[in-house]
Copies of this chain bind each other. A is one copy, B any other.
Amino acid sequence: MSNKHNRLEELVARLRERGCRLTPQRMAVLKILTAGNCHPSVQEIYCQVRDEFPMMSLATVYSTLALLKEMGEVQELSWDGCRRYDAASSSPHPHLICLQCGEIVDLESDLLGNVADEIARRTGYQIVSHRFEFFAICPRCQEAACAASVGG
């Protein structure tokens, strides 16, 4: 919890450094992005922010996300037609995505070991970042599917 709070403060500090203004709308988006283990879509952010700021515009959500993305402070996850955002930390880490319910779990980044270095060495490419996603069925959805097949 204090972790999350720190992340929020970190983001605020980064924006200040950059000379960006900390408008209430921006703060609201930051709060949502750093609250709990969430990986919201644009619409989810928009809806939540509107609870607090009914006048809030979608364009502002997009522009805030674009800013954070450009700063490297959020990871954009996209698969199929979905785009979700993760501001958990500035360093990329693997994700486990449930194809059924859409739940997303963050995994530790040390899973990869030195794969990136090895690839850089072998290919000559200069690795900037990476994205590593597992598409899966979460335990709850597995149970649900199992119960359904037994039941019917």
Contact = CB atoms under 8 A, between A and B. Distances in A.
Contact of A139 (B107, B125, B142): B125
A139 to B, nearest CB: 4
Q: How many copies, total?
A: 2
A115 interface: yes
Contacts of A79: 76, 78, 131
Contacts of A29: none
A138 interface: yes
Contacts of A111: 115, 118-119
On chain A, which size bracket covers the interface? 35 or more
Given A76-B80, A99-B128, A125-B98, A119 B134 contact: yes
Contact of A137 (B96, B112, B125, B132): B125
Contacts of A96: 119, 123, 125
Contacts of A3: none
